[in-house]
Chains A and B, each alone.
Chain A
Amino acid sequence: MKILVPVKRVPDWQIKLKLLPDGTGIQTDGIKWIINTFDEIAVEEAIRLKEKGIATEIVLVSIGPADVRQRLEYALAMGADSAVLVKHEGPSDSDLAARAIAEVFKRGSYSMILMGKQAIDSDSSQTAQLLAARLNLPQACFASKVEVDGTNAIVTREVDGGLEKLRVPLPCVVSTDLRLNEPRYAALPNLMKAKKKPFEELSLEALGVSPEVKVKVRALSTPAARKAGRKVGSVAELMSALQGEAKVL
């Protein structure tokens, strides 16, 4: 069983983001990049499925500039087998990503697309579902447990109010939630070996995918910070503030 794992390169969530002076984007010069947190969980889950003898091959795919290669090599060092980079500069959105990944999916005989439930930069949570619909595949999103039983995936999903257990026939699209697993670190010797793993570069044009986007980001701004209030000295003082001043009790 072959698994396709789309990964997105995003700014490290631990850095403080700065906006470009004209507000059309964030400053990316010299910032630290990481693999999208949820996609890293997907890579880990694919590797575990391979270690259990269920998956046979893990192919990574990403869309972005040439230096995304470094992030893909990190995921290869974690244990993926090969990577495809669809080179693209300029605006992108979930729809463009889904159209490109769908074409890569069609080029191999994959049984599953396993990817993060959302990217921590755009926070859209669309690409997995868009891919599933575009390829007319069933989906199991927000997974906290993934099992494969013959020709089906059995996925525990995080839903409002608790958990849902869903069986979907393969091939399918699974998106990963936070608690599916804790990704391993890539060991240094593996980082060296990863550079020798198969790495294919493609273009949107070669895939027959138009670079147009449907969602245009016009301006970014930093939301007004909430002001700190005051310290209260006791529970009694807190109660009287909540009843009198704030009138919430």
Chain B
Amino acid sequence: MGNVLVFIQHDQGKVQKGALVAATAAKQLASAWGASGVVGIALGTGAKAAATEAAAHGLSEVRFSEDQLFEKYRAEPYSRAVALAAREAGASAVVALASSSGKDFMPRVAVLMDAAQASDIVGVNSDGSLRRPMYAGNILAEVELAPGNRVVTVRGTAFPAAAKEGAVGEVSELSISGDPELHEQPRFGEILGYELSKAERPELADAEVVVSGGRALASAENFEKVIFPLADALRAAVGASRAAVDSGYAPNDWQVGQTGKVVAPNLYIAVGISGAIQHLAGMKDSKVIVAINKDPDAPIFEVADYGLVADLFQAAPELTQAVKSARG
């Protein structure tokens, strides 16, 4: 078997933690599948800097392209470029974080490479089989991929980030002329714009601490008044239950749960969240879970390490003050 290629997701040249998580999974896969080594590919503005940073994390070679085709993420050119990089690097497996873009373009890479794909893996067995959640995390499956090329996306909370290593891999540019189909085509999508949430707080997906609010907040104003100060005192990311999002208290991309984001921070504080299965699927792997809810029978208490039965409108501000004074 050849190399394993890992997709280096970055933000304007800064490697995202999730890319290093994918690199760890790629190394485990390389070892379980008897691959020769792990190489990388970075695309878009700042890709050269990202490739250079990633190369210090145990990758033998990292390719990059800052061609304008990759300036804004789009599934069609990204999948073609990743498949091209795999071909040129002699890679028979490609690994990426199961982020919104990783989920979006990786199946296209699988088709271009005629590969078998496993999505959202949480573990690699020594015999080369993979572990992945199914049925909203209620069931863990052990799956085997057919021989030949393979594509894998990785759950961001399931592996540690790859550490810096002494040796630094070679960094070189990928020439997109290697794929005649890879130039601006009328068949590619075109980005018309973005509506992005203001990034004043840590990213939900890789924050150390997450404070989430639920339906009991009862309004967007309360959500802001109660949850934001606690999150800011803890330097935490803000999450929300599906009920809170559906009621318009918080934006869609804050939703923690089966159909939203899966998080596993050191500390997860659920405020006014009853704990529907849907929500638990997104946070039950957190290290320490705290629940504040006035209903003593709320299912959230069944997974919480520390449960406080209290009115959130009193308890949450009190906790905010306590954290502030503890931190000086």
Contact = CB atoms under 8 A, between A and B. Distances in A.
Binding partners A and B: yes
A231 B301 contact: yes
A145 B296 CA distance: 39
B138 A222 contact: yes
Contacts of A222: 138-140
Nearest to B209: A248
B205 A160 contact: yes
Contacts of B318: 235
A19 B186 CA distance: 48
Nearest to B301: A228
Interface stretch (A82-90, A117-125, A203-211): A117-125
Interface of A is mostly: mixed
A221 B140 contact: yes
Contacts of A70: none
A95 B199 CA distance: 37
A241 interface: yes
A50 interface: no
Interface string B47-90: 00000000000000000000000000011100100000000000
A138 B188 contact: yes
Interface stretch (B21-29, B36-44, B172-180, B283-291): B283-291
Interface stretch (A51-59, A162-170, A193-201): A162-170
B117 A229 contact: no
A125 B306 contact: no
B186 A217 contact: no
A166 B192 contact: yes
B252 interface: yes
Given A216-B144, A230-B307, 12 more contacts: A127-B107, A133-B108, A133-B110, A162-B194, A162-B253, A165-B191, A167-B191, A169-B186, A218-B142, A222-B138, A223-B138, A229-B304
Interface of B: 74-76, 79, 99-101, 103-108, 110-112, 115-120, 129, 133-146, 186-197, 199, 203, 205, 209, 234, 246, 251-253, 258-259, 266-267, 284, 287-290, 296, 301-310, 315, 318-319, 322-323, 326
Interface of A: 11, 13, 17, 19, 26, 94-95, 120-127, 129-130, 132-134, 136-142, 144, 154, 158-169, 177-179, 212-223, 226, 228-232, 234-236, 238-239, 241-243, 246, 248-249
